[in-house]
Chain A
């Protein structure tokens, strides 16, 4: 196992920011041809660590060695020159430019455009990631966009490839193809540093793992020899509570959507096509799908941000499709959109003000156009207490909260308004494991009290955990709704619409 010398060796790396130690005395090594996992919760210091390896951040102390020689990149250019390439979690792509231009921007000395386009075609087929160099990036799916990032790296023949949470936007089939590509690369001798908090993936793919918690290395292990639960507990540092759910009877239909079709709201949006489903009181309907297949548009149509024909959405038997968000709120249809900062909450307003923004009507926080601030403050306090939101108090701005705490606040704010139907998009995206567990439990509790819940998410494990029934959106269409219990990964993959054009080559290869 340890016969080859490490490609990258890190010792005692420390980086602190005012008030936080992002990395303290971190050390590990990666060998050529190995896939090494870097595992940890949000805020554990994974991003800072890879930014140091990629030359975006300078460490305060500690040393890195590449092939035995000291390695201290001053900039990403220096890191690239040393053979380090990185695929970013939030894609570092330029929507208005085409594929070839995007790839050229990530290279030190790009060849002329025509030669580059030819190379993109060859290399992309070699690794089963077909790409058209002339397409504009803004029109591509998340999976295709990731291929650009990977290709950008591959064209430089990197010795070390860093992948930051690469699978969060992919379908199961696309994940399979990505893994095949990564194994192929490893077999060719490339070292891969794979960052994720998805444990099953790491157990399936990686042959070494470094687990970070609060900026420190808590374990170096072989993930194939550990159970996912062991890894999770190392990561979180405590025993995890799985959400508990009681079998419960469902009531009568609370929300009925019939033939809901809406045009795409903007150039890069998705049109909704004949969406039809029923939702009963007391049940959780999970809606899966790859990002950009109509989730945002569906949420907007249900919340009232986008208006629809009156009869296409019926709430407790009454048509509400033509009503705006406030009118629907008054009738008990509440929603929490995906984007916490800017959509679900106003970033620079205090928690009290944010509580006022959606709670004014249902909580009676305003009278004849005047706002009752003491009452709003009590409401914000109630949310903070009931959902364990860690914050100095309701005067804090929404922006100052961590992702998990703000998400607990946003969801708690709607749940405390006692919805009959609650629609939530990406309830635990970018939220640490313990906050995610609390949010899922809150959704289950809400359903147990008799509310109908729609959870739109890209995290299939989450949907399987909380939903009674499951369906998927694909290009604005909703699949048939099926009971969640007993669905296999393959079933779900098919419902999500497959991996488009990627898998064919591999099936035959």
Chain B
């Protein structure tokens, strides 16, 4: 056992990388749920984004293009969900679960040709003098653009929901779709946009796993990240800031437990592997339990909207 080999600077740096896919996926799902839709297909949209991004990046040699196409792939899959739940009024829980299974299957099929291929590297962003700051530079300012994009997105989603009219309308639709309809808002269209946004975010999160985090393709490589993103949204009480907190917690413990495994800590590997899931959920449960969790959920979450006129 050699705990001295764990470098705290490196730990935080890799924590930010490990948390990024979850931040992206959870933020997307946050917006979807704020509009009153429960899409359990996050895992499926992530893995679809992972293979779309991987394939495009390998074929074109451009990781940026890979991320763009990953977002489009995730959004396309999400729109299948949107079509089924918003127009054909299917059950959101069942449809979301089906979406996950579908995404896992289709990604494995597309991915057959890409096993063992190495994707082009996503370059680190050069932040100039910021990167030269001792310790902090290496810890926070030496990442690729997606890490910062995810952080900007957290602030963007927070500000959108809190300060803009669009955000207010989105929350209103998720709170009481009948009232929003009576006031003349296009419930279905707003939800469609939210679902597509959620899919795009999840797709980008998936691509980050396959292009940066792991850089290779294996079937089912998102390995439950979509589910943890879903859980984080709930226990973060539908707040963007807490989603960031939850994702960093999860990312941090994931990285820490890997380091602990490498250091040979005498704890069974299985327990270390499950620790990120368990600890994140326990911490967030405690945070959300303090404020009567049920009252903060969007009131129309998961309910089917059918205009009576």
Q: Which residues of B contact A95 (CB under 8 A)?
A: 175-176, 299
Q: Which residues of A contact B298 (CB under 8 A)?
A: 96
249-276 of chain A: CB within 8 A of chain B: 267
| Interface pair A76/B184, CB less than 8 Å apart | yes
| Interface pair B182/A88, CB less than 8 Å apart | yes
How distant is A328 from chain B, measured CB to nearest CB, in Å?
A: 28
Which residue of chain A lies nearest to B307 when distances are taken between CB atoms in the complex?
A56
Q: Which residues of B contact A55 (CB under 8 A)?
A: 184
| Interface pair A92/B299, CB less than 8 Å apart | no
User: Is B168's CB within 8 Å of the partner chain A?
Assistant: yes
Q: Which residues of B contact A77 (CB under 8 A)?
A: 184
| Interface pair B165/A92, CB less than 8 Å apart | no
Chain B window 20-56, contacts with chain A (Cβ cutoff 8 Å), 1 for yes, 0 for no? 0000000000000000000000000000000000000
CA distance A94 to B185 in the complex (A): 14
Known contacts A92-B182, A105-B169, A267-B292; is-contact A97 B175 (Cβ 8 Å): yes
The contact of B184 among A57, A75, A94, by CB within 8 Å, is: A75
CA distance A23 to B165 in the complex (A): 37
| Interface pair B172/A94, CB less than 8 Å apart | yes
How distant is B143 from chain A, measured CB to nearest CB, in Å?
A: 36
| Interface pair A105/B168, CB less than 8 Å apart | yes
Known contacts A104-B165, A267-B295; is-contact A92 B183 (Cβ 8 Å): yes
How distant is B181 from chain A, measured CB to nearest CB, in Å?
A: 8
CA distance A95 to B178 in the complex (A): 13
Chain A window 54-95, contacts with chain B (Cβ cutoff 8 Å), 1 for yes, 0 for no? 011100000000000000000111001000000010011111
User: Is A414's CB within 8 Å of the partner chain B?
Assistant: no
Q: Is the interface of A mostly helix, strand, loop or mixed?
A: loop
How distant is A121 from chain B, measured CB to nearest CB, in Å?
A: 20
CA distance A441 to B244 in the complex (A): 62
| Interface pair A92/B176, CB less than 8 Å apart | yes
Which residue of chain A lies nearest to B185 when distances are taken between CB atoms in the complex?
A105
| Interface pair B179/A92, CB less than 8 Å apart | yes
Q: Which residues of B contact A324 (CB under 8 A)?
A: none
| Interface pair B309/A51, CB less than 8 Å apart | yes
| Interface pair A93/B168, CB less than 8 Å apart | no
User: Is A101's CB within 8 Å of the partner chain B?
Assistant: yes
| Interface pair B165/A94, CB less than 8 Å apart | no
Q: Which residues of B contact A476 (CB under 8 A)?
A: none
User: Is B171's CB within 8 Å of the partner chain A?
Assistant: yes
| Interface pair B299/A96, CB less than 8 Å apart | yes
Count of CB-CB pairs between chains A and B under 8 Å: 54
Chain A window 30-61, contacts with chain B (Cβ cutoff 8 Å), 1 for yes, 0 for no? 00000000000000000000010001110000
How distant is B238 from chain A, measured CB to nearest CB, in Å?
A: 10
The contact of B183 among A57, A97, A106, A267, by CB within 8 Å, is: A106
CA distance A105 to B181 in the complex (A): 11
Name which of B168, B179, B180, B184 has the most chain A CB atoms within 10 A of its CB: B184
| Interface pair A104/B175, CB less than 8 Å apart | no
219-254 of chain A: CB within 8 A of chain B: none
Q: Which residues of B contact A57 (CB under 8 A)?
A: 309
Q: Which residues of B contact A93 (CB under 8 A)?
A: 176, 179
Known contacts A92-B176, A93-B176; is-contact A56 B182 (Cβ 8 Å): yes
Q: Which residues of B contact A96 (CB under 8 A)?
A: 171, 175, 296, 298-299
175-218 of chain B: CB within 8 A of chain A: 175-176, 178-180, 182-185
Q: Which residues of B contact A105 (CB under 8 A)?
A: 168-169, 172, 180, 183, 185
Chain B window 101-139, contacts with chain A (Cβ cutoff 8 Å), 1 for yes, 0 for no? 000000000000000000000000000000000000000
Q: Which residues of B contact A80 (CB under 8 A)?
A: 184
Which residue of chain B lies nearest to A94 when distances are taken between CB atoms in the complex?
B175
| Interface pair B182/A76, CB less than 8 Å apart | yes
CA distance A495 to B176 in the complex (A): 34
User: Is A6's CB within 8 Å of the partner chain B?
Assistant: no
| Interface pair B179/A94, CB less than 8 Å apart | yes
Q: Which residues of A contact B299 (CB under 8 A)?
A: 95-96
Known contacts A76-B182, A93-B179, A105-B183; is-contact A110 B165 (Cβ 8 Å): yes
Q: Which residues of B contact A76 (CB under 8 A)?
A: 182-184
Q: Which residues of A contact B178 (CB under 8 A)?
A: 92
How distant is A146 from chain B, measured CB to nearest CB, in Å?
A: 14
Q: Which residues of A contact B184 (CB under 8 A)?
A: 55, 75-77, 80
CA distance A487 to B185 in the complex (A): 47
Q: Which residues of B contact A267 (CB under 8 A)?
A: 292, 295
Q: Which residues of B contact A75 (CB under 8 A)?
A: 184
How distant is A353 from chain B, measured CB to nearest CB, in Å?
A: 22
How distant is A409 from chain B, measured CB to nearest CB, in Å?
A: 24
121-172 of chain B: CB within 8 A of chain A: 165, 168-169, 171-172
Which residue of chain B lies nearest to A102 when distances are taken between CB atoms in the complex?
B172
CA distance A105 to B178 in the complex (A): 13
Which residue of chain A lies nearest to B186 when distances are taken between CB atoms in the complex?
A75
Query: In the complex, given contacts A94-B175, A97-B175, what are 10 additional A-B residue pairs having Cβ atoms less than 8 angstroms apart?
Result: A57-B309, A76-B182, A76-B183, A76-B184, A92-B179, A94-B176, A97-B168, A97-B172, A105-B185, A110-B165
Q: Residues of A at under 8 Å CB distance from B?
A: 51, 55-57, 75-77, 80, 88, 91-97, 101, 104-106, 110, 267
Identify 13 residue pairs between A and B in the complex whose beta-carbon atoms are under 8 Å apart, listed by A's number. A92-B179, A92-B183, A94-B176, A94-B180, A96-B298, A97-B168, A97-B172, A104-B165, A105-B169, A105-B180, A105-B183, A105-B185, A267-B295
Q: Which 6 A-B pairs have the closest CB atoms?
A: A76-B184, A92-B179, A94-B175, A57-B309, A92-B182, A77-B184
